[in-house]
A and B are shown apart, each in its own frame.
Chain A
Amino acid sequence: SQELEQSPQSLIVQEGKNLTINCTSSKTLYGLYWYKQKYGEGLIFLMMLQKGGEEKSHEKITAKLDEKKQQSSLHITASQPSHAGIYLCGADIGATDSWGKFQFGAGTQVVVTP
């Protein structure tokens, strides 16, 4: 069963505007990863969050993990055409003594218009 719910499914944003993608789990996340994918291509690692309340930024992308470690958000400031693509959240399912299983959200397709 899908344990990571990602929203929205797709997003159209005007260049220069901000956008936010959410990733929610019913269970505690032991490692939450954000990836970007151009359609049909490989995955590019963006950021990883582990600790409750953690926030990381790289260029115009900021990712946060809530205190309960069940919800993460990815925020892009002043979007550019280079931000277009599919964004995926992924997580280790299970505690450190039973890790190995990994799940992804269904993805969010981002389109940036002029």
Chain B
Amino acid sequence: EAQVTQNPRYLITVTGKKLTVTCSQNMNHEYMSWYRQDPGLGLRQIYYSMNVEVTDKGDVPEGYKVSRKEKRNFPLILESPSPNQTSLYFCASRQKQNPLGETQYFGPGTRLLVL
């Protein structure tokens, strides 16, 4: 089954404790992206990756890091989480060859609470 998986689904942590949210897709998609969703603000793009070893900033990259060492995986790293990073996070992937007209496939979301 074609899917995007995220782990963990729920996470409670404390300020400053490094964490990683994993994202994996099995569709051989070149493009992957991370979003955060907050009430009243919709989804905002954090980082995206056009291919292995190619990443770029979205609209809200501060406080986050990403890496793309393999095509299928795109982890989101919070080196020193702060309470304002409490949010619902979504990973998505998309086929690059025909970017316009191709929808993104979204993971189920990771709900993060930073105390």
Q: Do A and B come together as binding partners?
A: yes
Q: Taking beta carbons and an 8 Å cutoff, which residues of A are in contact with B?
A: 2, 6, 9, 30-31, 33, 40-43, 45, 48, 50, 88, 90, 92, 96, 99-107
B59 nearest in chain A by CB position: A103
Instruction: Name the A residues within 8 Å of B48 (CB-CB).
Output: 100-102
Chain B nearest CB: distance from A6 CB in Å? Answer: 7
Task: Report how many A-B pairs have Cβ atoms within 8 Å.
Answer: 62
Instruction: Name the B residues within 8 Å of A50 (CB-CB).
Output: 100-101
Chain B contacts with A in 86-110, Cβ cutoff 8 A? 88, 90, 99-101, 103-104, 106-109
A6 nearest in chain B by CB position: B42
Indicate which residue in B33, B44, B103, B111 contacts A48 across the interface (CB closer than 8 Å): B103
Chain B nearest CB: distance from A29 CB in Å? Answer: 10
In the complex the two chains form, what is the Cα distance from A61 to B31 in whole Å?
28
In the complex the two chains form, what is the Cα distance from A101 to B46 in whole Å?
10
A92-B42 in contact (CB<8A): no
In the complex the two chains form, what is the Cα distance from A90 to B58 in whole Å?
14
Chain A nearest CB: distance from B59 CB in Å? Answer: 7
A92-B100 in contact (CB<8A): yes
Instruction: Name the B residues within 8 Å of A48 (CB-CB).
Output: 101, 103
B2 at the interface (CB under 8 A from A): no
4 closest A-B pairs by beta carbon, nearest first, are A106-B42, A104-B43, A104-B42, A45-B103
